[in-house]
Structure 1
Amino acid sequence: MSLAESDAAPPFPSNGDQIPAVLLRNALKVMGLVYVLSIGIWSIAAVKLPLENHVPFAAGGLLAVIYGLVIYGLPRHHHASFGYANLVTSLRAGFVSLVGATVLLSEGFGNAQSDGLVWAICGAVLFALALDGVDGYLARKFRQQSELGARFDMEVDALLIMVLAMAALALGKAGIWVLAIGGMRYLYFVAQHYVVALRRDLPPSHRRKLVCVIQVVSLCLVVTPVVQEPLSGWICLLALVSLTYSFAVDIRFQLKA
């Protein structure tokens, strides 16, 4: 679960390096193919669920922005090819983009007849979750670990958690405070620009990995139609407490280092 390191990661740096032409071509080819595949999947989903026409268009726009940021970060990928790991992460980004567009823009999400749509969203989340860890394994197997790959992976996870927190709010499963689960990562990102100590590296931690899994699993469970208040609120609260503890431990370490 790549978000495990997200509470320690600095913003994407720009070192002025030129992107090797072969890497740029390969990255554009991989992301282009995944983008077309995603459009096909979204089109099928729009017919089957159904979804309003503007939802897949919004998902496409979001995915294009994500891929644009990946291109910006390519100087931090010191390999000749984009790699199988980043291909998997690109595919996960496609699913997360559609889930995000559905939660934010579909009028059918959250109404009394939306159970089928909600279950479909949960299925997409579980599929994306199943792919998580595969990218890390592939990066290690083919020796293509990079700062870009790790950051790409964790940001997709962070976006997924934010979207699930919004879904929990939209479905009335918890109060507006649930957005703190998804927003804490981004508040930390902003704080890094003002507090130099928060840019210090953190040692690897199984705790962060576990806490990240707790966030995704808890929010996905809460979003399902079978979990209602007050149980849903308590599950979200426990997830938030665990996340707050994880951030507190790491921030304390950084400030004391």
Structure 2
Amino acid sequence: MTLNDTLDRRLLHQETAVGAGAQLLLLALLGSAMGLGLAGWLTGLAFALVTWAVLTRALSRSWLRSFGAANRVTLARATLVGGVTALVADSFESPRPVTVLVALTAVALILDAVDGKVARRTGTSSALGARFDMEVDAFLILVLSIYVSMSLGPWVLLIGTMRYAFVAAARVLPWLNGALPPSTARKTVAALQGIVLLVVGAGILPQWPALTAVGMALGLLLWSFGRDIRYLWRVRNVPESEVFASPRHTAADAVRHSSAA
């Protein structure tokens, strides 16, 4: 490894350390402003530690020489998601006003449309960046589904856990890892999940409209996954090069709203 490579690695690790520091700062601000409880602190700290460890390990295995502006945006989103996670965990101990949680979630969802554009404009798209973006999206949906399930029932968790169930199934059924063509419908359904969960979590809808909205979002997500699974089954024995000549996508993309992949 050359001196330049060593310096590049150090800079990459510094980026992840800055992200962890930003997460701790956000937790401190939430603690001072809202009196974050023990569950919120422990969950937020665990999120920061796991994010730092996983991202550092992924960067060490990648060929990236620079973290890149797009990944910095995604890292900022991950920090916001960490704050949302801490607030949701804290809400199990004592209900609190949802204003801050809604604000953090809204900014995270807005930035989801930014990192992909930044990656394309700067020519810094990468497999690691797309995976990082997808994991942040998926975890935010999971956390929001947990929060909404406290008022609407555990069935809402199906929205947040569907992607993880699909990943688990793909370990047993490798054909589920096959390539999928790009789909505007898939991206639209993915975006809708976060928006609906945010609106319902904000408590601005009466009970029945909230149930209807989340039920429709879940139905669309089931349709999206079902359509992709049927496609992957049909082409399971066809070489990928003969299916289509476009960038690789997977059915797990159904939970993300970024076009960076």
TM-score, length-scaled by structure 1: 0.84
CA distance in 2, matches of 1:154, 1:23: 25
Counterparts of 1:180 and 1:219, CA distance in 2: 12
Tell me the residue number matched to 1:224.
Answer: 202
What number of residue pairs does the alignment pair up?
231
Q: Which of 134, 159, 180 in structure 2 is aligned with 1:154?
A: 134
- Contact kept? 1:77, 1:147, Cα under 8 Å: no
**Matched AA of 2:32:** V
Aligned to 1:234: 212
Alignment of structure 1 residues 64-143 onto 2, 5 Å: 64-74=49-59, 77-109=62-94, 111=95, 114=96, 116=97, 118-143=98-123
Structure having the larger proportion of residues in helix: 2
Per-residue CA distance 1:48-96 (angstroms, 9 max, x = gap): 1232255234212212212322223226643311111111111111111
Answer whether contact 1:164 1:219 (CA < 8 A) is retained.
yes
Shift of 1:191: 0.5
Secondary structure class of the residue paired with 1:88: helix
Query: Cα 1:161–1:246, aligned 2, differ >3 Å: closer, same or farther?
Result: same
- Would you say 1:29 and 2:18 are equivalent positions? no
What percentage of aligned pairs have identical amino acids?
Answer: 32
Partner of 1:16: none
- Determine the C-alpha separation between the residues in 2 that align with 1:23 and 1:131: 26
Is residue 221–residue 227 contact of structure 1 (8 Å, CA) maintained in 2? yes
RMSD: 1.7
Is the contact between residue 16 and residue 55 of structure 2 (CA under 8 Å) also seen in structure 1? no
Q: Tell me which of the two structures has the higher relative contact order, counting C-alpha pairs closer than 8 angstroms and 6 or more residues apart.
A: 1
Amino acid across the alignment from 1:184: M
2:155 aligns with one of 157, 177, 191? 177
Measured at CA, do residues 199 and 220 of structure 1 come closer, stay the same or move farther in structure 2, by a change above 3 Å?
same
Contact persistence 2:24–2:48 (CA under 8 A) = no
- Aligned partner of 2:250 in structure 1 is none
Unaligned runs of 5+ in 1: 1-19
For 1:155, give the aligned amino acid. Answer: E
